[in-house]
Structure 1
Amino acid sequence: MPLDQAHTTGHCPECQKIASENTNIFIETEVIPQLRLLRSNKTGLNGVVIPPPRIEQFDCRDVWPPKKSSKGEEYVFCHGDLTRSNVLLDPNTLMVKSIIDWESAGFSPEELELSLWRLNYDEYMRTFEDTDKIKQEIELITA
């Protein structure tokens, strides 16, 4: 909440707006640029590929073999599920304190890291229904 205001109970639209703006700024100016510095010529992490939840729900294969990049190209490190619910904020300052749930993290094509942090819950859930987009994403990570 803003430092000059106090709340005792209830939902505060102004605080939600501030929290969303702080999240967007932090992820877009700090997290994504740092993750983009980490590069690999193979998808996944240590030989294991765990796709984002929307892909895993659509395509339930047991194993996703790592894919080697084309010569001269590299994959970037991605969180894989960087949603608002995976960003923890300080309740007093509404600033980002931590990012959690890194189980889908690994090296992937840059396009796979969608701007999920900008979506509300309903918008995020609709990404699971966009089968054309999911099929395109599967092509990016499969050999």
Structure 2
Amino acid sequence: MSTKMIKMPERELNRIHNSMVQEVVVDGEADSWIVGGHLLIKHTADSPYDWADGKGGGFVICDAPEPLPALRPLSLRSSFMRWPGMTRPHVSIEFAKQQGLSVPVPDIIFHAEHAGIYFLVTDCSVPRSAVRLLQGWHKCMAEPARQRAVERMVDIFLELCAFPVPAGAKITGVDGGGFVLAMMMPGRRQEAWDCHPDFLQKRMMDKGFDCSELVFFNAGLNTHDMLVDPNTGDVVKLYDWTRCGFVPHDYPISYMKHCNSFMVHHDEDADGEPSPESLELHWELKKRILPLLEKRGYVANDAAMELIWKEKRA
């Protein structure tokens, strides 16, 4: 199974996980896209459509025609990984909706699998003023809005950890499928990772995590994947649900404390490294958030994380 995240031209309203997107060229212009050689997404000014563009028109999705029309590739920066047997994001999104999470999550428009490639189209519509927390914090958020965003991150963290965990659950996605825990994987990101629950549990226990109590965890709770109202600091959308599942009780806060990726986005500059602003925000949020969570009984397993980092640095 191959999973790849791209951004469609409708900006941040929709996200599609796929392996390839190409524009359909008609008279030198592009108003539709072929996704993975199997699906056609077309912009239209006429109803009905599958989702709106916010400008009176919308987009429709259907099977791609045969033979394919003239195409040209899009220039996209995106990551590519092989995640065998992974729980599909639409399953995680539906699970979150059932729990009544206080922050909006994406509406699922379409999902399918073709030739081993998973496709997901979601509606992430938000107010025009909404910004990623990473962008808004430095550019347009006053201190009251910043503090409100911190409080909401804590609230959402606690809500996610309180999601019901089935009896006998293991370290898996919500449907028992594979769950990508990058920090727990040995070595570097070079080949397919083993996401089998027995492997993950052994890795966790070997590092010192207590696997007797599991909680729900979403690595998408970070400054890049949270959209906020810059005036109030309220979180208006949490849209990344690709890395979710059940983990030991102390893993989420350990991850937050010891991993930059929980707070920052690693594609901020040309070298794929966090920008100085990202790192500054990372340390500022840790300073504000960790004490609040520790008061609620969430304490990082520093010894376990040190073993993990020691292994990765070797």
Q: 1:21 to 1:57 in 2, by over 3 A?
A: farther
TM-score by length of 1: 0.60
C-alpha RMSD of matched pairs (Å):
3.9
Distance 1:100 1:49 in 2: 17
Matched ranges for 1:37-48 at <5 A: 37-38=162-163, 39-40=165-166, 41-45=169-173, 46-48=176-178
Aligned residue in 1 for 2:179: 49
Q: Is the 8 A contact 2:145 2:230 kept in 1?
A: no
User: What SS class does the counterpart of residue 216 from structure 2 fall into?
Assistant: strand
- Point out the structure with max Rg over C-alpha: 2
Aligned residue in 1 for 2:147: 21
TM-score by length of 2: 0.31
Gaps of 5+ in 2: 1-128, 130-137, 206-210, 257-261, 265-276, 283-303
Query: 1:38-96 deviations in whole A, cap 9, x for unaligned?
Result: 224301212212114x55695434322114699x9231100124211111112443311
Aligned residue in 2 for 1:133: 305
Matched ranges for 1:1-143 at <5 A: 11-12=139-140, 15=141, 17-29=143-155, 31-38=156-163, 39-40=165-166, 41-45=169-173, 46-52=176-182, 59-60=188-189, 61-67=192-198, 73-113=212-252, 114-115=255-256, 116-117=262-263, 121-122=278-279, 124=282, 133=305, 135-136=307-308
User: What SS class does the counterpart of residue 215 from structure 2 fall into?
Assistant: strand
Gaps of 5+ in 1: 2-9, 125-131
Structure with the larger RCO, 1 or 2 (CA within 8 Å, 6+ apart): 1
Q: 1:105 to 1:22 in 2, by over 3 A?
A: same
Q: Is the strand fraction higher in 1 or 2?
A: 2
Identical-residue share of aligned pairs (%): 20
Q: How many residue pairs get matched?
A: 119
Distance 1:122 1:83 in 2: 12
Distance 1:104 1:87 in 2: 14
Q: Quick one: which amino acid aligns to residue 48 of structure 1?
A: G
Distance 1:21 1:58 in 2: 37
User: What SS class does the counterpart of residue 85 from structure 1 fall into?
Assistant: coil
